[in-house]
Structure 1
C-alpha cells in the first residue's frame, strides 16, 4: 500500500484563524492624509461661507433694531415687504443695466486688446503693463481720481473744451451717470481679462492658422472658426468672473454717485447697504442679500449649463 503525503505546501496553507485585519491600512492612511490637507479649506468654508449664509437666512426672519437693542421674530414679514417695495424694480433695472454694460464692454475690449497685443510687434510688453496696471491700483483711489475727472469742471470736460465741446455733468445726469460708472469699472478690470485671453491665444497652435491660410480662409473666418472655439473655455471663465463681479459692485457707486441721480445708479448691493446700515433695517437688508445670492447662483448655474452648447470639448 502506497503512503499518501499529507503535508500542506505553501500554496495550500490554511489561513490563520482569529487574526484581525489591522484598521490603519495603507488606503485609510492615504485617505486621512487627504482629509488633513483639505481640512483648513473645509473649516474656512464652513466658518466664513456656510455659517454666514445660515445666519443671513436667520436674520431675514427677524427685525433687528440695533439702536433700540431689540431682536424680534417677524417670520415672512420681510419677504412681504420685499414684494411690496416700490424701489425694488428700479434697483433691479439699474443692476441689470450695470451688469450687462460691464460684461459686454469688458469682455469685448479685453478680447480686442489681447488679439492686438498677441501680434509680434515692438512695444507690446510696455502696453501690456500699461493696460494691466489699473488692476493692482487701489479701487478706492482709482474711483476717487475718476470722480475728479468726471466732475462738471473736471479733466474730461476740460479736454472737451479744448475742441469746443461742452461736456455734461457726467455723474449727475440721468443718461450719463450709469454709463460713467460702467466705463470707470471697465477700465479698472479690463487688464485682468486681457491677460487671461492673451494666455489662451498663445496656447492656440499656429499650425491651424497655417492650414487655414492654405485653404484660403480670411483672417475674420480664422478668428471665428479657430480662435474663438479654442479659447471658449477661457471666455466661459472670464464671463462667470465678470458677471459675479458686476453684481457685487459697491465702492464705485458709493464714491461716484451715491446711487443717484434719483435711483438711476442704485444697484442691489448699494440698496442693501442703505437699508441695513443707513436706515438700520437689518432684517430687510438680510432679505435683500438672499435675493442677491439667488441671482448670482442662478446666473452662474445658467452659464455653467450653457457651456455644453458652445464651449470647445464640452458636450
Structure 2
C-alpha cells in the first residue's frame, strides 16, 4: 500500500471531535453542551443579603417613602376634616406659603434656635469631653451626671425647667439671694429664645459629649508626645492634632444636632407656646398650629414639604463640605 493510501486511511478513522481529540459527549442527550445551574453560590449569597435587608427596606418604604409621597399629595389639596371635604387646589398652598406674612418671622426664629443650639451644644460637649478625658478622680461620676439628662423623659425635663424659669421660680429665687432681680425668662422676647436653647442644650449635651469622648480616646498618644518634643503648645496640639483626628465625629454630631434642632416641638409647646408673639414659633410648631389648631391640613402639609427641603439641603451641604475639613476624606 502506498503512503497516500495509508494517510487516507488514518484520516478516515480519526474521530470527528477535532485534531487528535475525542468528540464531546452530550450530557443531556440532545447534542448540546452542559447547562450551568441557576442557583449558583453567588446567587444564593445575593438572595441571602436581600432577605436580611428586606425588613429595613420594607420599613423604609412604609414609614418613610410612603408618608413623604402622601405629604406631597396632601399639599396639593385642601382637606377640611370638619366638613369632610378633600379638594384638589394644585399649587394654591405653595402660593399661600410664598405670601404668608408670618413665615419670615417663623424662619428667623427657627434659624436662631438652630444656630444657638448647634454652637452651644457642640462647643460645650467638646469642652466637657476634653476635661473628662483627663485621668482624674471622679470622672466617672461627672460622666454619669452629664449623660443622665439624655435618658430622662423630654416632657418631664421640660416641665421641671418650666417651673424653674417662672418669674417666681427657682432660678430667680437663687438670683434673689445674691441681690439680683431676675427677669421673667419665658415671657420676655430677649430671654425666651435663650431659655429654650439652654434647656435643650442641657438635655442633649451628654450624648455628644460621650461621642466626643470616645473619639478623643482613639487619638494615639504618640502624636502628642512627638508634638511636645517639637515644642508645640497645648492649644496648637488641640487644633493641629485633636481636631483633625476627631473631625469625622464632629461631622456626625453636627448633622445629628442640626437635624434635631429643626425638629424641636415639645420644648416650645410646654415652655412658651411659641410666644411671646412669634419670637419662639419655630417651623415645626407653626406647622402644628396650622394643621391641628387651625385645621389647615393642606397648608400644614406644605409646611412639612418646606421643612423636608430645608433638612435635606442642610444635610447635603454638610456632607459635601466634609471633603474640605474631615481628616479621613480625600
Residue number in structure 2 paired with 1:82: 97
Alpha-carbon distance in 1 for matches of 2:34, 2:240: 66
1:6 and 1:304 map into 2 onto residues whose CA distance is 70
**1:239 shift after superposition:** 0.1
Residue 43 (str. 1) matches residue 39 (str. 2): no
Instruction: Tell me if 1:217 matches 2:227.
Output: no
Aligned to 2:67: 52
Alignment of 1:115-126 (within 5 A): 115-126=130-141
User: How many residues matched?
Assistant: 315
RMSD value over aligned CA atoms? 1.7
Q: Which position in structure 1 is the counterpart of 2:326?
A: 311
Whether 1:14 and 2:24 are equivalent positions in the alignment is yes
Using the TM superposition, give the Cα deviation of residue 182 of structure 1 relative to its aligned residue in structure 2, in angstroms.
0.1
Unaligned runs of 5+ in 1: none
Aligned counterparts of 2:83 and 2:172: Cα–Cα separation in 1: 48
1:182 to 186, 197, 210: 197
Q: What secondary structure is seen at the aligned counterpart in 2 of 1:290?
A: helix
Corresponding residue of 2:121 = 106
Question: Matched residue of 1:163: which SS?
Answer: coil
- Partner Cα separation in structure 2 for residue 108 and residue 270 of structure 1: 27
Cα distance in structure 1, aligned partners of 2:320 and 2:178: 50
Cα displacement string for residues 67-88 of structure 1 (whole angstroms, at most 9, x for unaligned residues): 1111011111100110110000
Q: How much has 1:13 moved relative to structure 2?
A: 6.5
Of 232, 244, 250, the residue aligned with 2:259 is 244
Q: 1:205 aligns with which of 220, 223, 238?
A: 220
For the pair 1:137 / 2:152, whether they are aligned, the reply is yes
1:15 shift after superposition:
6.7
Matched, 1:231 2:246: yes
Q: CA deviation at 1:22?
A: 1.7
Moved >3 Å (runs of 4+): 1-9
For residues 261-292 of structure 1, what are the alpha-carbon distances to aligned partners after superposition, in whole Å with 9 as ceiling and x for unaligned? 00000000000000000000000000000000
| Residue ranges of structure 2 left out of the alignment (5+ in a row) | 1-5, 27-31
Return the index of the structure with the highest Cα Rg: 2
Cα distance in 2, alignment partners of residues 136 and 41 from structure 1: 26
77 and 207 in structure 1: CA distance in 2 versus 1, 3 angstrom threshold: same
Aligned partners of 1:311, 1:166: CA distance in 2, in Å?
46
> Aligned-pair distance for 1:12?
6.8
Report the TM-score when normalising by structure 1: 0.97
